[in-house]
Amino acid sequence: TEESLQADSGADCVSLELRAADGALVTLTADFRQEVKIFRALILGELERGQSQFQALCFVTRLHRNEIIPSESMAKLRQKNPRTVRQAEEVRGLEHLSMDVAVNFSKAAQLSSHIHNVCAEAKEAIYTREEDVKFWLEKGVDGSLFEVLPQDSDLPDL
């Protein structure tokens, strides 16, 4: 797996990009100013099976304070020792999130100005959680930005 880390203290954001051996690309963008995390997954399609070149999905969640090292600290660490491989200070378990609300791409800048660039390939596939929607609505975000997806009761819980 290849990794790329960028910190922009001016925009107060951090981006981490992971490229898997199969070509899948996962990007995490943490927007500290708006307290939003954006996950983008680009998954290569199988052209011989008639699939498109790639499928893009975006997931947007609330960024909690102290969840990720601040962009200014990250930028300083990268400047001091840009080639240093760092180990995580703590190991967190898997986190299962249920993304049951669609996000309107054309209005998504209300959540984060970074969504427009990060999720450009996933305009029709941007999702978030109901609990994050409630938080953002309380902060004054326009409700027309969100559409609750129908729940399929036939699907088993994973």
Write down the domain spans for the chain: 2-79+95-148
What pLDDT is attached to residue 23? 83
| pLDDT tens-digit series, residues 72-114 | 777 666 666 666 666 667 777 888 889 999 999 999 999 999 9
User: What dihedral angle (degrees, nearest 10) is formed by the CA atoms of 110, 111, 115, 116?
Assistant: 0
Secondary structure (DSSP) of 54-93: EEEEEEEEEPPTTSS--HHHHHHHHHH-TT-----SS---
How far, in Å, CA of 158 to CA of 147, rounded?
23
16 near 27, Cβ under 8 Å? yes
131 near 64, Cβ under 8 Å? no
| pLDDT tens-digit series, residues 16-40 | 899 988 888 999 999 999 999 999 9
